[in-house]
Amino acid sequence: MASDMRTPAVIFFLAASGGPAFALDQSVHQSISHDRCIAAHLPQDFCERVGTEAYNVDSYEWSHPEAHSQIGEGAIGTACTAANAALDRERMLGSDIRTSLEQLAQSPSEDLRIHIATQLGRSLHTIQDDCAHHGMPNAQHAWWSRKDACSGSKTSPDLQPQAASCANTETAAVFVAFEQQMAAAGISAGALDNLTEGWTHWPKRGDVCDFLHEADQWDGTDRRWNNTVVVPMLREQLTNAITTDDRSVIDACTVDLVVVSHDAKLDTSSPPPFCLKLETFCLLSGGKEDGETEAPPPWEDDATADTASGCSVGGESSASWMVLAFVGIGLVGRRRRR
């Protein structure tokens, strides 16, 4: 059973908002990873920890675009170099999982079981995020996230039904490879059981606010890569690393990642408004200490914006969001790292 002080807040938010179950937010990363793990007949304790670690990538690795299958800036600012960074991440994590399973067969320990669950959750998050992001850079992503948070629209890549469907399919394929390597290493499901509970974490408030402000930097060009190509590449790289060896199976710069039908360039002269909901959230990140505090991001309450814009100063919807926000903040404040 997950030792998660944030769980009541999640239940309260979902019950109050009736949000879409297909959004690839942190809780969906967690549930897909956990449920596919259980479907592979692995122990409950292990699967809960895998789900927790898939969830925590958005906290611990917020600023690593390769962890989220996104095009970053600088050296990884092109589609092929960013895809290669994600592929290399999966190669290293998969190789670690393979060798750790072999070590577990020789020297069982709780630390090793936790390490395997952690690396598996981290690798799953990246594959799942590719299903949603298609490499979409932060500025483009932030534009749609900001629009959704203030208007109740459903334009974010994380809110598309096909993203969750793809994530489920790809996660199941990874667990087939994981079971294959367990068998090769002589590991039974029971060898992964009995490990301590993990703690889930929100992103830092300051990081979320910086991300939302990046919408102002988008030039309106759709920079997503072709997931018809990248999805199987990531799957092959991770499953090969889990089951076979450490080699890079492909160089993304040798294949065509361009999408034939990109969305038309958008006029970005009027960015989505930074509405009261976002201003309130970011107001609390003004100090250095507050900016480092974990908090539920505004999109975790996206369905509240379905009933009202969330941008008006007065009215029941604004007051309701403020109550929900401060309930969430209060619960987050009681969590301890572990």
Tens digit of pLDDT for each residue in 180-239? 999 999 999 999 999 999 999 999 999 999 999 999 999 999 999 999 999 999 999 999
- Burial state string for 287-325 with b = 16 or more CB within 10 A and e = fewer than 16: eeeebebbbbbbbbbbbbbbebbbbeeeeebbebbeebb
| 83 belongs to a structural domain | yes
Which tokens is 120 given?
A: 């598996």
| 271 belongs to a structural domain | yes
How many domains does the chain divide into? Answer: 1
Q: CA nearest 176: which of 116, 242, 230?
A: 242
What's the pLDDT at 289?
54
Q: CA nearest 117: which of 213, 22, 192, 208?
A: 192
236 SS3 class:
helix
- Mean of per-residue pLDDT scores for the chain: 83
Q: What is the pTM of this model?
A: 0.82
| 2 belongs to a structural domain | no
Tokens 């952690």: give the residue.
118
Could you give the percent of the chain with pLDDT greater than 90?
70
* H or E stretch covering 172: helix 161-185
Q: Kindly tell me the burial class for residue 218, based on how many C-beta atoms sit within 10 Å of its own C-beta (0-12, 13-18, 19 or more).
A: buried
Band of the pLDDT at 283, cuts 50, 70, 90?
confident
Give the Cα separation of 149 and 17 in Å (integer). 13
Q: Whats the size of the chain, residue-wise?
A: 338
Amino acid at 205: R
Which tokens is 329 given?
A: 């903040």
| 77 belongs to a structural domain | yes
Measure Cα distances from 44 to 5, 7, 222, 227 in Å. Answer: 19, 17, 41, 32
Give the Cα separation of 130 and 70 in Å (integer). 8
Query: 123-150: per-residue pLDDT in tens?
Result: 999 999 999 999 999 999 999 999 999 9
Residue 47's domain comprises: 7-333
What's the pLDDT at 77?
84
Measure Cα distances from 161 to 108, 126, 264 in Å. Answer: 40, 18, 22
| 1 belongs to a structural domain | no
| 101 belongs to a structural domain | yes
Are the CB atoms for 32 and 168 separated by under 8 Å? yes
